[in-house]
Chains A and B, each alone.
Chain A
Amino acid sequence: MNPERNPAPRPSPGPRPGLPAWRIGLAVGAVSAPTAWALAASDEIGRWTIALGIASSVPCALLGCYLVLRRMSLLGDAISHAVLPGIAVGFLLSGALIGPAIILGAMAVGMLTALLTQLLSNLGRVPEDASMGVVFTSLFAVGVLVITNAARDVDLDPGCVLYGLIELAAIDSRPVFGLEVPRSFGAMAFALALTIGFVTLLWKELSLVSFDPALATAVGISATVVHYALMAMVAGVTVAAFEAVGSILVVAMLIVPAATAHLLTDRLPRMLLVASAVAVLSAAVGYRLAVLWNTSVAGMMAVVSGGLFASAVVGSPRHGLLGRAWHRLALSLRIAREDVLARLFRAEEESPSRPVASGSARGWASSAAGRLVGAIALRQLRARDFIRADEVDSVALTGPGRDEARELVRSHRLWESYLSTHFDLPPDHLHDPAERIEHFIGPALRAELSAELDRPDADPHGRAIPPEGTGNG
């Protein structure tokens, strides 16, 4: 790739030339269609609820990507629990659940959580998971204590703190430019803007520290500073999202979209985009389903994001279970096909006139991966016109089939020669490795092997190595 042809000055979160338009279209459609449906099917308050959900979950998803990549998801969990005392105290002081003072206070508590966890595991040599557990449960207990005490005097429901009341947040509104805007929307929009600013400004530092903290420290970008800045941001967005979804379900917003995105893409900018898309989808669809079944919006958002994650686990093209199973199947089919071709070629070599019974061809095809795969492989071979079955129940290679087979046998025997020349293996130990590797040797490697071995005519067993095909059939 010529750098001049790629004038993008920075890794911008956006499609690259390599991504086909239809896939972008599909992705955009997959996100916008359900979202539009959810918006259209809701009333004014419902739309605001969805907007609140999106504004609170997208920043979580963005920061969550770094948590997941740094294998620090549980620190996000810990922080989201631990900010509770900060919120409680802030609430007691200011009487509001959200505001600059509370966000700042929570950021401080968030950094404190990260710091205490690290101190415990470094100085106290407590295993990291245990130290996290100790810190966040203790802080959480303090928070619950303060809140239950406060709840007697002011209107703060412990349940709301744990699993949020996004439904009520949308109702509590005030007019802005003639539009009724929920009070908490401003804070959430601010958190969203702040997060986007943070990720853009520290893009390079965040990716370096996440990928290779030792190098970052070695070149003078302090991994510690970036780490604590990230933790402070996590605490900030946690608090902003807190009123909507409560302290436990915010964990779902932090981790699930990011983990889903990690299964679906191999580029950091795309990962952030996909995670945001998952967050948007979960908020919109989650709201609609919650209304349908008359249940908790926040819980439903978590469940929907979990469903999206599960579909990614199963269906991700490259890293999903189905995708991998499909790759394995394709590989076994190819190996079965090639085994049949190579065996037929050898049979022809030994006695050109004797026909091969289709029964033994079936046996060869099934030897590696079972009868079903073998049967499919044989059908594919016939469909591609590599072999033909004639009326007396025997199979033979066709012209194109023979060309394919010749290359395989050539690979096999070249490899045997190479092994016997360079590794001093006895002749009876040569066949098995060659049988495995013959499927993966292309023309380039064959040429290299042949040159390395001074263009041999025969393999170590004395059988002829067929010449390279001319490529014209």
Chain B
Amino acid sequence: MTTSASLDRTEAEAKAKDGAPDRPAGPPSSPVLDVHDVTVAYHRKPVLWDVDLTIDRPCLAGIVGPNGAGKSTLIKAILGLVPKASGSVRVFGKPVGAQRRLIGYVPQRESVDWDFPVTVLDVVLMGTYGRLGWFRRPGRAERSWSMECLERVGMAHLADRQIGQLSGGQQQRTFLARALAQRAEVYFMDEPMAGVDAATEAAIFALLRDLKTSGKTVFVVHHDLRTVPEYFDYTILLNMRLIAHGPTATTFSPENLRKAYGGRLAILEAAGEAVRARERSE
């Protein structure tokens, strides 16, 4: 065990020295994400049918659809957190299990116990655990990197707080900082903007754009149709099946939205407003 641990360490040191992040391990031509024919059923009741989805280039993708459309389930199925009735998922051309280091995940805020006795910095450090692998402890490099990530979400001054004392928006930022600390290539975020204040939402959006500019791919489950065209350059419309996916400019159309949401007036109005706003800005 000693030898393998020291081997790990030298490897990590070498990596830290040249400072280059891991490049995607698959062949360069392989798509970022390839979801093939995925069906998910809870107790024989399908929640996702036959989803086929290929994302070739890095993008900032919104996963949109009505309640119960299977948005979170899609993310969880991709990450292997729920069993698939059929289908396969590849990230950069390899099964997800082999690409865990390239994947960042932001679960829904309610999924953890905020009474847990850890500080904000501890939570962000958890983002580095995947890369550290078994047994190795986060060292000074991980700590300063985690502080940097906290800095980027504007939470550095709260690093020593217990997480239960944070507001909803601050909790969400902590989760985002943790995702940043993962140094992933592809991020999956489950409703990061649900129940947060406007300032946090703006901060999250700025961060998403940063990620995109640095060539990462981000999938975001999103519930607010009005902001879809503003936030995302790629849209995945879901309602138990894949309704449409593609660049937001073409996918986020009233016809597609009606297919996903039905004829409910308020939603279509909101979306129409968003589409018009986009057209004005172009």
Residues of A within 8 A of B (CB): 1-4, 6-7, 9-11, 16, 18, 69, 71, 201-205, 207-208, 210-212, 214-221, 262, 265-268, 270-271
A270 partner residues in chain B, CB cutoff 8 A: 117
A268 partner residues in chain B, CB cutoff 8 A: 116-118, 122
B253 partner residues in chain A, CB cutoff 8 A: none
CA distance A7 to B79 in the complex (A): 35
B113, A204: Cβ atoms closer than 8 Å: no
CB nearest neighbor in A for B132: A204
CB nearest neighbor in B for A265: B117
A221 partner residues in chain B, CB cutoff 8 A: 129-130, 134
Contact among A71, A219, A267 with B105 in the assembled complex (CB-CB below 8 Å):
A219
CB nearest neighbor in A for B106: A215
CB nearest neighbor in A for B107: A214
Q: Quick one: given A201-B135, A262-B117, A267-B118, are A215 and B143 in contact (CB under 8 Å)?
A: no
B134, A212: Cβ atoms closer than 8 Å: no
A16 partner residues in chain B, CB cutoff 8 A: 160
B126, A215: Cβ atoms closer than 8 Å: yes
A266, B103: Cβ atoms closer than 8 Å: no
Contact among A4, A6, A69 with B116 in the assembled complex (CB-CB below 8 Å):
A69
CA distance A107 to B211 in the complex (A): 46
CB nearest neighbor in A for B131: A219
B134, A211: Cβ atoms closer than 8 Å: no
B131 partner residues in chain A, CB cutoff 8 A: 219
Task: List 9 contacting pairs A-B, 8 Å CB cutoff, sorted by A.
Answer: A9-B139, A9-B140, A202-B135, A208-B126, A214-B81, A266-B117, A267-B118, A268-B118, A270-B117
- A16-B160, A218-B81, A266-B162 given. 16 additional CB < 8 A pairs? A3-B144, A4-B144, A9-B139, A9-B143, A11-B122, A18-B160, A207-B126, A210-B116, A211-B112, A218-B103, A219-B129, A219-B130, A220-B97, A221-B134, A267-B118, A267-B162
B9 partner residues in chain A, CB cutoff 8 A: none
Shortest C-beta distance, A463 to chain B (Å), equals: 29
- B86-117 interface code vs A (CB 8 A; 1 in, 0 out): 00000000000100110101010001110111
B119 touches A (CB below 8 Å): yes
CA distance A342 to B115 in the complex (A): 37
Shortest C-beta distance, B211 to chain A (Å), equals: 17
B115 partner residues in chain A, CB cutoff 8 A: 262
CA distance A69 to B115 in the complex (A): 9
CA distance A210 to B116 in the complex (A): 9
Residues of B within 8 A of A (CB): 76, 79-81, 97, 100-101, 103, 105, 107, 111-113, 115-119, 121-123, 126, 129-140, 143-144, 146-147, 156-157, 159-160, 162, 164, 178, 182
B137, A10: Cβ atoms closer than 8 Å: yes
A204 partner residues in chain B, CB cutoff 8 A: 126, 129, 132, 136-138
The 6 A-B residue pairs with the shortest CB-CB distance, nearest first, are: A219-B130, A220-B100, A266-B162, A218-B105, A3-B144, A3-B147
Contact among A1, A201, A207, A218 with B79 in the assembled complex (CB-CB below 8 Å):
A218
CB nearest neighbor in A for B81: A214
Shortest C-beta distance, B94 to chain A (Å), equals: 13
A219, B100: Cβ atoms closer than 8 Å: yes
CA distance A414 to B211 in the complex (A): 39
CA distance A221 to B129 in the complex (A): 8
Q: Quick one: given A1-B156, A214-B111, A217-B81, are A267 and B117 in contact (CB under 8 Å)?
A: yes
CA distance A4 to B138 in the complex (A): 15
A10 partner residues in chain B, CB cutoff 8 A: 137-139
Q: Which of A18, A216, A218 has the most CB of B within 10 A?
A: A218
CA distance A6 to B138 in the complex (A): 14
CA distance A18 to B76 in the complex (A): 39
CB nearest neighbor in A for B123: A211
